[in-house]
């Protein structure tokens, strides 16, 4: 996990994506899964977004919701989140590749 600086982002403007374990506008930064769990929310999720100077607020490219059950442990929520993240990232990247191929 790294926060990229302006010089680097200027070179690759709009070309860097990030997978974040929270829904847009919720729990930016670190420990997002743990914070959602501790807040007792019923739903959280993950998103893939374009990286900007501001952490976890770039253009959203995909979202997947994740349920937090009342009987869940943090480890169970983390496992469910990671599974959702893997599916979402593959789906978003596949869509990006197909979009690029369509332009050729």
Q: Which residues pair with 48 in a beta bridge?
A: 19, 62
9 contacts: CB under 8 Å, gap ≥ 6: 16, 51, 52, 53
Q: Could you count the other beta carbons within 10 Å of the beta carbon of residue 18? A: 17
Structure tokens at 94: 């596949």
Q: Is 20 a catalytic residue?
A: yes
* Residue of 2, 20, 82, 86 marked active site: 20
Question: Could you list the active site residues?
Answer: 20
């Amino acid at each position: 996990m790294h926060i990229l600086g302006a010089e680097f982002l200027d070179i690759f403007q709009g070309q860097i994506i990030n997978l974040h374990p929270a829904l847009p506008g919720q729990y930016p930064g670190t420990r997002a899964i743990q914070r959602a769990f501790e807040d007792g929310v019923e739903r959280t999720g993950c998103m893939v977004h374009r990286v900007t100077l501001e952490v976890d607020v770039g253009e959203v490219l995909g979202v997947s919701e994740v349920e937090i059950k009342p009987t869940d442990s943090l480890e169970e929520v983390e496992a469910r989140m990671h599974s959702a993240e893997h599916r979402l990232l593959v789906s978003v990247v596949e869509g990006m590749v197909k979009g690029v191929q369509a332009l050729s």
